[in-house]
Structure 1
């Protein structure tokens, strides 16, 4: 039994090693998007995303640098936004942001939980996003 668990361990943790937690301190831009109806962020191409209007809220960095990174959990996403983070080296990463609670998920299988002390600041960032989106219409 112990041998089986030892053999299985790399498969259970392999995703964690292949998809390390985001190093938020290397991020430079935080662009929030409304996800079009019928679209799933993980299936959206960069060309599709680049055509959408976004709201840049770089103050998200101050909250996310303190977030907790954990393996993904099975959750039902009710209302979500897309967050595209651009890093200093130029690469971009897509994340799904929950409007309920303080969590988001990268599409590589990591969840990030906003610290309780930063919950209000995170909700204020999301409120600012919604305010700016409403002003664009």
Structure 2
């Protein structure tokens, strides 16, 4: 049982996942600082508000009470998500893909060599027909 656990922990994808979670948590603080310190104030300038949380409209309900619809919070969450996605792509994904392409080029492997060509639907149907036509023994 201990041996199986050791193999599980030492597997590359588990360690990669742990590293990704730790880096992601640390990176979130940086992205949040950029969004809160730079992007939110820029948007607040456009909407003449001190923060995105104040962006929205107020409606009076049938009881005469004011109800605030704050689309600024939603806009902030969308901007935060897009900022994280852009930074993760350009800081992690794109450079790693370039490194892999260069390593493959040095090794003489082309993308066509990596993936075998799958048969077309017509070729599969011909193979099935041929198998069905064979006499069964």
**TM range, smaller chain:** under 0.3
Rg larger in structure: 2
Higher helix fraction (1 or 2):
2
The one of the two structures with greater contact order (alpha-carbon pairs below 8 A, sep at least 6) is 1
- Normalized against structure 1, the TM-score is what? 0.23
Higher strand fraction (1 or 2):
1
